[in-house]
Structure 1
């Protein structure tokens, strides 16, 4: 009985996935008959029967991941019962790659006596793909084992194959690709890598982003706004906010301006029910604030933002951000948003294409503020400028509506007295 152990079919792999079995237990098979298809991160390979015999036991199912060196099936030789007892007692007859010494002599002797050259299943697969009779190839590996370079040399020097090549048969060129791929895979394995399991919050973020992009047709509109007047207003309110022990930033003003604009452009505060094919227009304003944490991007939500003052918003934004970074947010605090703001300005950048927080209809990214030369009344002047990028669902929102929406936000923030008057 021979135990067939999963070999390194990818030149440096550690495990492989069983794709499909090409036989079943009890089947009689011939030497080199394909038995099982295995997939690694480098190659797909068909592993073949090492000898003519009967498959006795299949130890793994399709879909299982198996480590290299693990027995995946057993096979009984056709003439096993006729072998002398001395042969059957030689020890482990598994098809592990033989090393130097007595083990190599026993393995090679037995295989050559059966008329079979010594080669790994991976090399045998390459030979089949290249239309090479592996029995005709001379091996230069240990104990005469055939290795990849032997196949390559055979292809290059064999007159029959070379003649096909000279007559423009590009099939040969394609058949030689597996060797090139195997060598490239060998080089890749040598490079330092680190693998981290995609799990937890990062996995959920990945799934959410894929769903958003695959479901929503994204379009991004970019505009700029002048921040000087708003900065002056914020500076004037600084002393009052400090008395309340509140750190006042620009973000609460954006929240109020966005809420006013959302009430006028209702499709930006909407979503689509995929099952019923209905547009849901929402008359509540829950604003998500994208927050960077060590675990990834979290979006805590300010509920009923339209009903809160600038100072209340500032205090809640600060508290939510702190809780997000400390992992203290409840499910209620990170669900139910109707529109999201992504404030990347503090870390820089002038433009982006933010991904919509599914199932919302839009997201607004705020970028860094910086002094820029602009033209006012046909004269060049320096102003404190900021870009904003609005990604929107083109199923619900037309480009004209998106531009009108950002224009409205600009109008309110560039003239903050109007913002104060219109807040309610």
Structure 2
């Protein structure tokens, strides 16, 4: 029986290696042509790798969390007799136990596993009450977690023993039909160890870098957005069918654009290794976006050249791409200042971490209606806090306060946002 090696693909743009973030198969699993066998991450983009052949997995060349060089062996598949080398365009394994060394691989590849599982080989995650973690996609795992379902109780019908959404539907349907009695509370002793991999590991590295190298100063100011909310409601009521619904973000973006024109020191990056500050005339605004896999920062490039409607359209497009994992590498880098917003979960105050190597980040807290004294009586006003952090090496507290106060003025008198000059 012939064996073939699938190598780490070259995803282009100068990427030399990628991290394995998920295996969809294990040794001994059958695979069919075009079946997804692994997911790898380069920078913040995740790429799924399909099998070009039909056969059985014989060997995996990495653990989840390992970094593999482009063109290095990723897995070996024992082909069915019907498969053909010419059809798949990949190289046969040089011998039955391990794939050939990759010509372009800068580091040696791991030896194939022995016939029996190794005692020292880590498993991720490890649950004390069962040695095997059910196979399921991140979306299925999140859905099961939200529904309080233990995936170990769900029968799997997907490829390679993976649990699918249909499997969850059937499990839920059976549970709703069955008559249940109140469960007796019991002590829970299970633990789960999970290796920090993929986007979560990259987020951790960036947060550590920013927190350890940037002395933050955070300035909080409340803003009366009553007039802005009235204007936003009016504009949304008259929007065209092809225009997105306006949130507060496009207004804040336009306010930032006018403000950094007056205070260019805030729209900058700082190379602390070289001791060089770079100020930008272009305003590339990063929008911190929560995705199923973690926090990403897609970037609205040249926001200074966009209308408020175009800003809204681009924010929506980039957020959708980030959440779907389709955002291009250039769409996730190059920001000069960042906005962080948790929407309705924004809380009263936050202390946002600067997106290194930038020198400022503006945090948006939730809008609440509060009684405000106008000099003669209390009146209801829509209030929102801005929690903004600055690199204190570059931005003094006085300058930070002036910056936030100018943004506050523009948001409280939103007509000023649309006045040129």
TM-score range, shorter chain: 0.5 to 0.7
Q: Is the 8 A contact 2:346 2:364 kept in 1?
A: no
Which residue does 2:268 correspond to in 1? 270
Using the alignment, how far apart are the partners of 1:272 and 1:326 within structure 2? Answer: 31
Specify which structure has the higher proportion of helix. 1
Q: Is the 8 A contact 1:241 1:311 kept in 2?
A: no
Q: Is the 8 A contact 1:221 1:390 kept in 2?
A: yes
Using the alignment, how far apart are the partners of 1:388 and 1:227 within structure 2? Answer: 11
Using the alignment, how far apart are the partners of 1:248 and 1:236 within structure 2? Answer: 10
Which residue does 2:234 correspond to in 1? 236
Using the alignment, how far apart are the partners of 1:355 and 1:69 within structure 2? Answer: 41
Q: How far did residue 246 of structure 1 move?
A: 1.7
Q: 1:253 aligns with which of 232, 251, 254?
A: 251
Find out whether 1:406 has 2:404 as its counterpart.
yes
Deviations 1:322-377 (A, max 9, x none): 11110000100000000000111322411111100000001111011010112222
Which residue does 1:288 correspond to in 2? 286
- Name the count of aligned residue pairs: 238
Which residue does 2:297 correspond to in 1? 299
Q: 1:316 aligns with which of 314, 317, 331?
A: 314
Using the alignment, how far apart are the partners of 2:397 and 2:307 within structure 1? Answer: 31
Which residue does 1:385 correspond to in 2? 383
SS at match of 1:246: coil
Which aligned pairs between 1:188-207 and structure 2 lie closer than 5 A? Answer: 191-207=189-205
Q: How far did residue 191 of structure 1 move?
A: 4.3
SS at match of 2:419: helix
Q: State the structure with more CA Rg.
A: 1
Find out whether 1:397 has 2:392 as its counterpart.
no
Unmatched 5+ stretches in structure 1: 1-66, 71-189
Q: How far did residue 318 of structure 1 move?
A: 0.7
Closer, same or farther in 2 for the Cα pair 1:69/1:341, shift >3 Å?
Answer: closer
Deviations 1:125-144 (A, max 9, x none): xxxxxxxxxxxxxxxxxxxx
Which residue does 1:415 correspond to in 2? 413
Q: Is the 8 A contact 1:221 1:389 kept in 2?
A: yes
Q: 1:359 aligns with which of 353, 357, 376?
A: 357
Q: Is the 8 A contact 2:368 2:384 kept in 1?
A: yes
Which residue does 1:371 correspond to in 2? 369
Using the alignment, how far apart are the partners of 1:296 and 1:69 within structure 2? Answer: 32
Using the alignment, how far apart are the partners of 2:253 and 2:223 within structure 1? Answer: 15
Q: How far did residue 266 of structure 1 move?
A: 1.5
Which aligned pairs between 1:60-139 and structure 2 lie closer than 5 A? Answer: none
Q: How far did residue 245 of structure 1 move?
A: 3.5
Using the alignment, how far apart are the partners of 1:227 and 1:416 within structure 2? Answer: 9
Using the alignment, how far apart are the partners of 1:305 and 1:68 within structure 2? Answer: 54
Q: Is the 8 A contact 2:243 2:309 kept in 1?
A: no
Which residue does 1:157 correspond to in 2? none
Which aligned pairs between 1:173-188 and structure 2 lie closer than 5 A? Answer: none
Q: CA RMSD, aligned part only?
A: 1.8
Using the alignment, how far apart are the partners of 2:368 and 2:273 within structure 1? Answer: 45
Using the alignment, how far apart are the partners of 1:318 and 1:240 within structure 2? Answer: 19
Using the alignment, how far apart are the partners of 1:379 and 1:398 within structure 2? Answer: 37
Which residue does 1:91 correspond to in 2? none
Q: How far did residue 192 of structure 1 move?
A: 2.7
Q: 1:329 aligns with which of 319, 327, 330?
A: 327
Using the alignment, how far apart are the partners of 2:375 and 2:264 within structure 1? Answer: 34
SS at match of 2:355: coil
